[in-house]
Amino acid sequence: MHFSLMSQVGTQIRLLRGYRLKSLYAPAAGLRYDGVFVIRAYSTKRDTVSEKHRLELTLERLPGQTPMAEVLAVPRPSQLDDWALYETCEAETTRRRMGPRSFMDAFRASLDLGRAPGIKRMVTLRQPSQRRRTNHDVVRTTTSLLHPEHPEQNNLVPPRHLLRPHRSVSNMPTDYANLPTPEACYADFCLIPVGTGSVSVAKEVAEVQKLLKASGLHYQMHSAGTTVEGSWDDVFRVVGQAHALVHAGGVVRVQSSMRVGTRTDKKQPFEDKVKRVEALLKEGDSAGTGA
């Protein structure tokens, strides 16, 4: 600044501190805004070495300035150079890992990238690049799927389940309000009366078995519950009736643990599943005996 401006006490000035200057408000490296100061006093001092007069100012930092935490978020020019160097090294490493065809794809992509504006280019460089070789139906990725030590394995990436959704998912209906229920099902349920006066619940189980027999549905009782087979509405109606029956007997709280299965390709009673497993066990026993 000019000497006439420096000599005015009370003048506000804005300082920029470099990496060679010591400051409590500026970082150790780079050039940062250090706040607004006011000149409180000034004096001159003669340097004994250079025999020149040096101007000394007494500055007071004004409060309420931008905190350094916000100022540090602004990147330095050296940081931008480091980012550009890192992207150049990454592109060179990726180019060396790719095969001839992928190199041509990356070369064409780099030409298209060079024609884009500067800001769009910086955004595009940070996006994961992914290309598909339609003649071999192979996904080509320039970042994580390429093997650095074995380039011959780069064509072994299975792509089909990565490119499109599963067929059953894509064909699902979207009209959920009018979606019908399955025609038939089998349910394995265990009805649990809670809060009975006795430990045994054999009386309640016997009443439920009478209800199932009177319903005309195909059922079978086992030690952990009962398996019922029939239409969807009939199965769930008889389960609800079993709850109502136990409630009518004086039980206030009833819980059911249920597993429901459906199948659309064919009708298969639950006995057939057991018979199939028993047949496989017999085949294994006969093979072991013959050996």
Q: Which class does domain 3-76 fall in? A: mainly beta
**Helices of type H across the chain:** 3-6, 68-71, 77-97, 100-114, 118-125, 160-163, 167-170, 202-215, 232-248, 270-290
Same fold, 3-76 and 184-272: no
CA distance 211 to 217: 10
Most confident of 13-17, 21-25, 31-35, 93-97: 93-97
Strand order, beta sheet including 225-231: 218-222, 225-231, 184-194, 253-261
Q: Is the pLDDT of residue 170 over 60?
A: no
Most confident of 196-200, 211-215, 284-288: 211-215
Mean residue pLDDT of the chain comes to: 71
Q: Is the pLDDT of residue 216 over 80?
A: yes
Segment 79-101 shows an average pLDDT of: 75
End-to-end CA distance of the chain: 106
Q: Could you tell me the residue ranges of all domains in the chain?
A: 3-76, 86-112, 184-272
Neighbours of 35 (CB within 10 A): 21
Q: How confident is the model at residue 129 (pLDDT cuts 50, 70, 90)?
A: low
Segment 242-258 shows an average pLDDT of: 86
Range in 55-69, 72-86, 186-200, 227-241 with the lowest mean pLDDT: 72-86
pTM, two decimals, is 0.38
DSSP letter (8 states) at residue 194: E
pLDDT at 70: 58
Only one residue has tokens 């009782």, namely: 221
Stated as kind and residue range, the H or E segment containing 157 is none
Q: Which class does domain 184-272 fall in? A: alpha beta
Segment 185-192 shows an average pLDDT of: 84
pLDDT at 148: 54
